[in-house]
Each structure stands twice: as C-alpha cells, then as structure tokens.
Amino acid sequence: MFGYSTAMELEDVLFRIESRLKAVGLSAHAASLAAKRPDAIRNLKRAVKNHDRRGVTTETLMALAPVLKTTAAWLLEGVGEPTPGNIVQVVGRIGAGAEILPEFEQIPPEGLYEIEVPFPISNDAIAFQVEGDSMWPRYDPGDVIICWRQGTNVDEVVGWEAAVRTTDGKRYLKRIQRGGSSGTFDLESHNAAPIRGVRIEWAAEIKGVVRTGQWRRK
C-alpha cells in the first residue's frame, strides 16, 4: 500500500477518482464492481469522512485505473495526464494452447512491436499476442491481452484467467486454480486438458483484450 496518508492526500485521491467517474460515466459502485473491488470507493469515502489516516492499496488503485481509463500513478499522486495514450508494447506471445518458451522467441529488449489500441492505456501496461485456441471462444489466436508489467501475487488471480510464467520458463494464458500440493497450481483451459501441479514465478491479471483486427501495428 502507499502507507498512511494525511486526510488531505486521501481527499485528493478521492477527488481524482470522482473526476474520472464523471468522465467515464460510471457510478462509484459500478466502477468498484468492474475493478473486482466491490467496496473500494465506498471505503475511501468513509475514510475521508472519518478523517481516517489509513490509505488505500496500490493494488486497489491499479485495479480501478483501467476501469476509470487512467493510470494508478495519476490516481495516487496526480502524476502525468489523467487520460494516457493508446500505444502499448507487445513483449511476446502467450500460449492459449501449446506453451510459449520465451527463450525461443528471440525477443529484442524493446519487445516484438508496438500497437495502437482503441482506448487509453496505462504507461504500466504491456501486451502479449495470443497463440493457440484452447481458450476459445474467450480468446482467439491473434488477440492481444493487456496486463501490468509488474504482475501481481498469484494468490490474487486464483479462480480467474491470467497470464502466467511458470518456473520452467513457459508462458500461458489460462484459468488459475490451486494445485494438489502446496505452492503448485493447475492451469485450466476451455478446450484442452488442464495442466496440473505447476509452479508460477510471475502472474498478471488480464486488464484488457483487443480482438484481432481491432489493433494496429505501429
């Protein structure tokens, strides 16, 4: 979290959130639900009203940011513009079928390429191009998924679809479930047998999907 904040700082965060709610035409409740943080904005309003010094977590702001079409940095501290650009770097391919081995892709340091997407996007975002059809009809080959570069704690995406990298270097787009033994996870598909008992070193919640034909390579 960003720690304990002054009432004024919390008021500033709330002001920025409310300005984005107005801009995107969402209620506080609808935005919180969309971010999978049902009580986030209500709790922040209560904290401001009660002069509670406890802050909000960066994870919560990162979840709210794409719903509010802004960045977590802007919500937290007003850094940058409230509405970011729409260019994102595709840093590799991700398997919705066979695994993708990053070391075989020969990805340059700057990634594979940049794309222009039809909505504002955070500077923290990265993208992967989907390969394979085991997650059809949710994802088609050539779709691009968007997530945060730093990822998240894998426990936070259990039960959800996520981008993951296993400890043996393979990348998948799967639904994550807990495995049969401690520290392992099962990777589920819509159209393929589950991959059981893997260990995950990086996981990221899917923040957006751009369908094939809806993104343009820069």
- Parallel, antiparallel, or unpaired for β 171-178 and 161-166? antiparallel
Report the predicted TM-score, pTM, of the whole model to 2 decimal places: 0.59
The pLDDT score that the predictor gives to residue 146 is: 92
Q: Are 21 and 107 members of one domain?
A: no
The pLDDT score that the predictor gives to residue 99 is: 62
> Which helix (H) or strand (E) is 10 found in, with range?
helix 7-24
- Parallel, antiparallel, or unpaired for β 125-131 and 87-95? parallel
Cβ proximity of 93 and 111 under 8 Å: no
From residue 27, alpha-carbon distances to 15, 17, 139, 208, 216 in Å are: 14, 11, 29, 20, 32
Domain enclosing residue 63, as ranges: 7-77
Report, as an integer, the average pLDDT of 97-121: 66
More confident residue, 81 or 198: 198
Read off the tokens for 64.
Answer: 């709210």
Q: Which of 76-80, 157-161, 168-172 has the lowest mean pLDDT?
A: 76-80
Q: Is the pLDDT of residue 195 over 70?
A: yes
Q: Are 48 and 142 members of one domain?
A: no
Read off the tokens for 12.
Answer: 């500033």
Report, as an integer, the average pLDDT of 170-181: 92
The pLDDT score that the predictor gives to residue 6 is: 43
74's torsion region: left (phi>0), alpha (psi -120 to 50) or beta? alpha
Owner of token pair 């400890």: 167
Q: How many structural domains are present in the chain?
A: 2
Query: CA 110 to CA 208: how far, in whole Å?
Result: 21
Cβ proximity of 125 and 147 under 8 Å: yes
The mean pLDDT value of the chain amounts to 83
In a domain, 2, yes or no: no
In a domain, 82, yes or no: no
Q: Confidence band (pLDDT; 50, 70, 90) for 163? A: very high
Q: Are 18 and 107 members of one domain?
A: no
Report, as an integer, the average pLDDT of 149-164: 91
Q: Are 72 and 132 members of one domain?
A: no
Residue 143 is part of a domain; what is its CATH number?
Answer: 2.10.109.10
Number of neighbouring beta carbons within 10 Å of residue 50:
10
Owner of token pair 């409230």: 82
In a domain, 73, yes or no: yes
From residue 141, alpha-carbon distances to 66, 99, 180, 208 in Å are: 24, 13, 30, 15
